[in-house]
Amino acid sequence: MNDTTHEAHDHRELLKQIARQAMVDYGLQPDFSPAALAEAEQARAVDEPSTLAPGQQATREPAPSGVPGLRDLPDLRDLRDLLWCSIDNDDSRDLDQLSVSELQATGGVRILIAIADVDALVAPGSGIDDHARHNTTSVYTPAAIFPMLPERLSTNLTSLAFGEDRRAVVTDLVIDAGGSTIESTVYRALVHNRAKLAYNSVAAWLEGQGPMPQPMAVVPGMAEQVRAQDEVARRLRQSRLERGALDFQTIETRPVFDGNAVQDLAEEHDNRARDLIEDFMIAANSATVRFLEAKGFPSIRRVVRSPERWDRIEALAAAYGVRLPPNPDSRALADFLAARRAADPVRFPDLSLSVIKLLGPGEYVVDRPHEEGAGHFGLAVKDYTHSTAPNRRYPDLITQRLMKAAIAGAPVPYATEELDLVAAHCTDMEDEAHKVERLVKKAAAALLLESHVGEAFDGIVTGASTKGTWVRIFRPPVEGKVVQGSEGLDVGDRVRVRLVHTDARRGFIDFARV
């Protein structure tokens, strides 16, 4: 029996209550302080005409990068004439990045990735910054979003919104035919979003499964622009895979509401448009680290260390007749994953999930100039940071401040010891935020499943430790705890379970092994 039952009209409000309480329980602040709200209300776009200094008019000389059509302002380049576009979720309004590309006579491609200049409106030590520094991330739940920055900023003044002039920090890369970055620089610029595009519709068009998205069709040259970006992104991905990057396929779900009732869980799959943005962001993040290191600046890096449970990954591979090296080897693991994707694409997401769980979580660490960092095992790169989502993640905002100081030739704005504290806090709070998001997702799943207690399901073990054993059933794709019969189960094992209990408020979905 369930602890409680819920009328259909209660679901959305109940999930909001669960989300807010979880934020408090895990040490996050669900609401902004009066000081932060007052600062947001008083903020205005930094590029309004009244804020431009006399004589700060665009000139027509080409920018130093040599890209035709670029123009300069005294302290930032005017790139508003370029065919910038954003590609994000359908309902996203906190747009952090734009991209544009240009073919080179040498056969390479120049890509420009513009990141919203959030620092321009969020001063260190302000009320808004204090809230962002505490939470360190936006928290996304099915019934409510708890943004890191007030919405007047994140979805308006610091968002690279369609049709608006915005300041940005631009990473300018030249990618050769083999997918390697052969040139990169970073500078500040004015940009203008000419097309707000969405992952699913762009992916369907790129894959020949849907029409050209209307926002793309109305901008001359935008279709060719996006196809060029897709091509260079695929070069970047192939180059990473050849270096040993791990190529996973996971299944994310989101609750589907009928009015205020959870009716279903919709699966969200990877696609070419998501891959395009992911590939560009990885390239920009790596270039950011190289830029800061060249300037003698420290950086907050995102690392995934060599997996501690490599022996279990070896065992998973052995079950398929593959022998992995005795020590962690990303190249060998990447080859195994690629072979399994080709051999059994239907079940590959389940194997991906098992390996991801065994790799362990990422963390933020400070890298001093000219030190050898831990690197990112999954991406097979040494130089990697988070810099591309300053509206949503505090480490990205810190990195942006470091970048702007380096561009201006100013001193490092943070003591290394302070960065150490920030990195550790961001790691901790990111983990707490993920707990909130998982809890509310499980609460939504519990609401969906509460009428199915007693039914049996097929699933795969996703976690096994002293804290318990967890299984994800296949249909609907929901994770819960094995409270009976968990002995001998380990990550990756297939199992049949029976649903014995749900409790939406606590996020409990309990199974017994059949």
pLDDT tens for 275-314 read: 999 999 999 999 999 999 999 999 999 988 888 789 999 9
Is the predicted pLDDT of residue 344 greater than 90, yes or no? Answer: no
Is the predicted pLDDT of residue 50 greater than 80, yes or no? Answer: no
Q: Which domains, and CATH codes, for the chain?
A: 8-304+375-441 (no CATH), 453-514 (2.40.50.140)
- pLDDT at 149 (0 to 100): 98
- pLDDT at 63 (0 to 100): 35
Among 119, 264, 273, smallest CA distance to 207 is for 273
The amino acid present at 163, given as its one-letter code, is G
Region 73-95: mean pLDDT is 90
Residues 147 and 126: their CA atoms lie apart, in Å, by 17
Place of tokens 């544009």: 100
Residues 355 and 335: their CA atoms lie apart, in Å, by 13
- pLDDT at 376 (0 to 100): 82
pLDDT tens figures, 145-185: 999 999 999 999 999 999 999 999 999 999 999 999 999 99
Task: Please list, in sequence order, all residues whose beta carbon lies within 8 angstroms of the beta carbon of residue 389, skipping any fewer than 6 positions away.
Answer: 96, 97, 396
Residues 292 and 186: their CA atoms lie apart, in Å, by 10
Cis amide linkage into residue 476, ω under 30° from 0: yes
Tell me how far the alpha carbon of residue 34 is from its chain's centroid. Answer: 29
In a 3-state reduction of DSSP, which class is residue 326? coil
Among 211, 198, 228, 191, smallest CA distance to 73 is for 191
Residues 445 and 472: their CA atoms lie apart, in Å, by 12
Region 66-72: mean pLDDT is 41
Among 181, 133, 431, smallest CA distance to 282 is for 181
Express the helix, strand and coil content of the chain in percent, nearest 5 each: 35, 25, 40
- Mean pLDDT check: name the lowest of 113-122, 246-255, 496-505: 246-255
Secondary structure (DSSP) of 96-129: -EEEEEEE-TTS-EEEEEEEE-GGGT--TTSHHH
- Which H/E stretch holds residue 497? strand 494-503
Between β-strands 456-465 and 494-503, what pairing exists: parallel, antiparallel or unpaired?
antiparallel
pLDDT tens figures, 354-384: 898 888 888 999 998 877 767 788 887 778 8
pLDDT bracket for residue 36 (50, 70, 90): very high
The amino acid present at 403, given as its one-letter code, is M
- In the chain, how many H helices and how many E strands? 13, 19
- pLDDT at 49 (0 to 100): 39
Computed on alpha carbons and rounded to an integer, the radius of gyration of the chain in Å comes to 24
Residues 137 and 147: their CA atoms lie apart, in Å, by 7
- pLDDT at 9 (0 to 100): 56
- pLDDT at 108 (0 to 100): 87
Question: In the structure encoding, which two tokens stand for residue 298, read together?
Answer: 């420290």
pLDDT tens figures, 123-143: 999 999 999 999 999 999 998
**b/e map 266-287, b = 16+ CB within 10 Å:** eeeebbbbbbbbebbbbbbbbb
- pLDDT at 300 (0 to 100): 95
Residues 33 and 227: their CA atoms lie apart, in Å, by 44
- Mean pLDDT check: name the lowest of 5-9, 55-59, 191-195, 432-436: 55-59
- pLDDT at 59 (0 to 100): 32
- Mean pLDDT check: name the lowest of 31-40, 304-313, 328-337: 304-313
Is the predicted pLDDT of residue 6 greater than 80, yes or no? Answer: no
- pLDDT at 470 (0 to 100): 92
pLDDT bracket for residue 73 (50, 70, 90): low
Task: Check if the beta carbon of residue 425 is closer than 8 Å to that of residue 366.
Answer: no
Region 473-481: mean pLDDT is 91
Region 252-276: mean pLDDT is 89
pLDDT bracket for residue 54 (50, 70, 90): very low
Task: Check if the beta carbon of residue 80 is closer than 8 Å to that of residue 190.
Answer: yes
Region 10-24: mean pLDDT is 95
Residues 75 and 184: their CA atoms lie apart, in Å, by 19
- Mean pLDDT check: name the lowest of 11-20, 76-85, 271-280, 488-497: 488-497
Among 452, 511, 513, smallest CA distance to 479 is for 511
Residues 323 and 205: their CA atoms lie apart, in Å, by 40
The amino acid present at 18, given as its one-letter code, is I
Q: What is the mean pLDDT of the chain?
A: 89
- pLDDT at 106 (0 to 100): 81
- pLDDT at 373 (0 to 100): 67
- Mean pLDDT check: name the lowest of 5-9, 38-42, 349-353, 374-378: 5-9
Is the predicted pLDDT of residue 230 greater than 80, yes or no? Answer: yes
- pLDDT at 379 (0 to 100): 80
- pLDDT at 47 (0 to 100): 53
Region 62-85: mean pLDDT is 66
Tell me how far the alpha carbon of residue 179 is from its chain's centroid. Answer: 22
Phi first, then psi: what are they for 193, rounded to 5°? -75, 115
Task: Check if the beta carbon of residue 39 is closer than 8 Å to that of residue 33.
Answer: no
